[in-house]
Amino acid sequence: MALRLHGTYGITSDKYNGLSHLDSARVFLEGGFKIIQYRGKRPDGTELQVREQIKQALEIKELCRSYGAAFIVNDRLDVALEVDADGLHIGQDDIPMKTASKAFNGVIGISVSTAKQAMLAEHDGASYLGVGTIFPSGTKKEGEPIIGLEGLADVCRLSPLPKFAIGGIEVSLLPSIRKAGADGIAVISAVLRHESGYERVAAAREFVRKWAALEV
């Protein structure tokens, strides 16, 4: 599947309201998101066993196919290869981009927080960038810098790669994020934190609608 590397990008979590990773993927997909990243973590941030990650990844991939959405695996090259994912997303402390690109033929994204990291990612063969953390977020890893809109703009000015803003993304902030040069947004809590299924899907649809209006 050819990935559209822009727009709204949902990241799964089982941290909110008793939702499973599959449930959270379904929320984003029903809301119109066209890229789903499976992040095989427990609510406390520890990784699930590989067999469980493979099982969940296959279920979410099948669901993505039914919605015509792209499926990306976070961190785990072995899981991405086993389930034939459309893409792999890695962090600065994960497998090196050069190594990943030799083993994986799909799209590969990488998290960056500086223009220097972005330029290196382009040199090493990245397909897109996850830029952040933009704003304070409950899913932010300890030690990750908050780069704000200014940091986002710095990366966007210097890198020609597609760029997704991540970290504390709210609907009200979308115009500023788009103005800074982002090609898309990655969302977790702003959609999944809502208590009812109706509210979650409505929140996802609002992100899709407002971002699409900014892309025109």
Domain ranges of the chain: 7-215
**φ/ψ of residue 83, rounded to 5:** -100, 0
Tell whether omega for the bond before 46 is within 30 degrees of 0, i.e. cis: no
Rounded to 5°, angle at Cα 99 from 50 and 12: 40
Catalytic residues, which ones? 39, 111, 140
pLDDT at res. 1: 59
Answer left, alpha or beta for residue 73, where phi above 0 means left and psi between -120 and 50 means alpha. Answer: beta
Looking at CATH, the fold of the domain delimited by 7-215 is given as: TIM Barrel (3.20.20)
Hey, is 28 helix, strand or coil?
helix
Among 68, 76, 14, 83, residue whose Cα is nearest residue 36? 68
**pLDDT tens, the chain, 216 aa long:** 567 899 999 999 999 999 999 999 999 999 999 999 999 988 888 888 999 999 999 999 999 999 999 999 999 999 999 999 999 999 999 999 999 999 999 999 999 999 999 999 999 999 999 999 999 876 656 667 899 999 999 999 999 999 999 999 999 999 999 999 999 999 999 999 999 999 999 999 999 999 999 998
pTM of the full predicted structure?
0.95
pLDDT at res. 78: 96
